[in-house]
Amino acid sequence: MLRLASVGSGSKGNATLVCSGETTLLVDCGFGAREMLARLVELDVDAADIDAILVTHEHSDHIGGVTAISKATGAPIYATHGSIISGKLESARRVVEIASDSTFAIGDIDVTAVTVPHDAREPVQYIFQHADKQVGVLTDLGTVSEHVLRAYSRCDLLLLEFNHDLEMLRRGPYPAALKRRVSGDFGHLNNQQALAMLNSLGDDLPQVVIAGHISEQNNAIDVVESLLEPMISSTDLTVIYATQSQGFDWVSPKSDDDISRVA
Ligand SMILES: [Zn+2]
Ligand SMILES: [Zn+2]
């Protein structure tokens, strides 16, 4: 069974684990090697079991610890050409270049790298398929393009960015230029954009959504909770909240048994 866990989620560092039982993948590492290795133990992951590290883009909250954890675990790094030439992987030993919008297999997981609108060189986010289940990771994008919506329309479980509340960002402490960057078309999804994406999915709404990359300055879990409340009470959607300090513990798509029990 495909499952997902996070070591931490937010602007200070991101690292997400995807595991099929046989194959373990790490998406990004914005944490130092020592902290990362300690947190892997908490999630019951043997660092030597990581088969590959997938980079989404070169911002330091995603790539900062990638080279170090690759050296510590021996796992190769998969990244787009733009991420590779950003200079952030210069001292890495094992780098595999991937094409945006391609699908490739690592062990028994099929990985699709989806192009997203974000202010990095060649940013992608990832969808994972194993057996009949699909799990998506979608953070760090300024708008939900048609391309993104189509690509993520079959997920059973989705880690989705609820970065900021627009009003909290406006009134918050960030300098004006940073506010413009965060809320811009190549910045981050605000709560309403993330909710609109879920609404657009209609019948293809995933059974489980993890709200992630939640800004500690410009958002709050209870704000996201009250926004999602109507959707949760009118569908069988389960929502989990990822935090900067803890990430979230292992979660799997609902089994077909669980779904038919609700239906
Ligand atoms: Zn980020
Ligand atoms: Zn970013």
Q: What is the mean pLDDT of residues 132-153?
A: 98
Residue 213 CA to ligand 2 centre (angstroms): 10
Q: What is the mean pLDDT of residues 14-37?
A: 97
Torsion angle of C-alpha atoms 217, 124, 89, 179, degrees rounded to 10: -30
Residue 215 CA to ligand 1 centre (angstroms): 10
Q: What is the mean pLDDT of residues 11-40?
A: 96
Residue 21 CA to ligand 2 centre (angstroms): 29
Strands 109-115, 248-251: parallel, antiparallel or unpaired by DSSP? Answer: unpaired
Nearest to 216 by CA among 5, 6, 9: 9
User: Are the CB atoms for 6 and 26 separated by under 8 Å?
Assistant: no
Residue 75 CA to ligand 1 centre (angstroms): 22
Residue 263 CA to ligand 2 centre (angstroms): 38
Q: What is the mean pLDDT of residues 21-36?
A: 96
pLDDT at 259: 62
What's the structural domain count of the chain? 1
Q: Is the pLDDT of residue 225 over 80?
A: yes
* Ligand number with the minimum distance to the CA of 137: 1
Q: What is the mean pLDDT of residues 117-137?
A: 98
| Strands, sheet with 238-241, edge to edge from the N-terminal-most edge strand | 103-106, 109-115, 124-130, 133-138, 157-161, 208-212, 238-241
Percent of the chain with pLDDT over 70: 98
Residue 119 CA to ligand 2 centre (angstroms): 7
The residue to which tokens 């790094």 are assigned: 77
Helices 66-73 and 33-42, packing angle to 10 deg:
60
Domain of residue 32, CATH code:
3.60.15.10
DSSP 37: H
Q: What is the mean pLDDT of residues 110-122?
A: 98
* Ligand number with the minimum distance to the CA of 124: 2
pTM for this prediction: 0.96
* Ligand number with the minimum distance to the CA of 61: 1
pLDDT, tens digit, 9 for 90 and up, residues 46-90: 999 999 999 999 999 999 999 999 999 999 999 999 999 999 999
* Ligand number with the minimum distance to the CA of 9: 1
Protein residues with C-beta less than 5 angstroms from the ion ligand 2: 59, 140
Q: What is the mean pLDDT of residues 178-184?
A: 98
Residue 65 CA to ligand 2 centre (angstroms): 14
DSSP 203: G
pLDDT, tens digit, 9 for 90 and up, residues 232-263: 999 999 999 999 999 999 999 988 777 655 54
Helices 191-201 and 221-234, packing angle to 10 deg:
20
pLDDT at 208: 98
Nearest to 131 by CA among 107, 148, 152, 149: 107
Residue 56 CA to ligand 1 centre (angstroms): 9
Residue 214 CA to ligand 1 centre (angstroms): 10
Reading the block at residue 188, the tokens are 């981050």
pLDDT, averaged across the chain: 96
Residue 27's identity, in one-letter code, is: V
Residue 18 CA to ligand 1 centre (angstroms): 18
Q: What is the mean pLDDT of residues 172-200?
A: 98
Residue 236 CA to ligand 1 centre (angstroms): 29
Q: What are phi and psi of 255, to 5 degrees?
A: -75, 160
Residue 211's identity, in one-letter code, is: A
- CA atoms of 244 and 162, how far apart (whole Å): 13
Residue 13 CA to ligand 1 centre (angstroms): 7
Residue 54 CA to ligand 2 centre (angstroms): 14
Distances (CA, A) of 229 to 90, 93, 180, 215: 45, 46, 29, 20
166: containing domain = 3-262
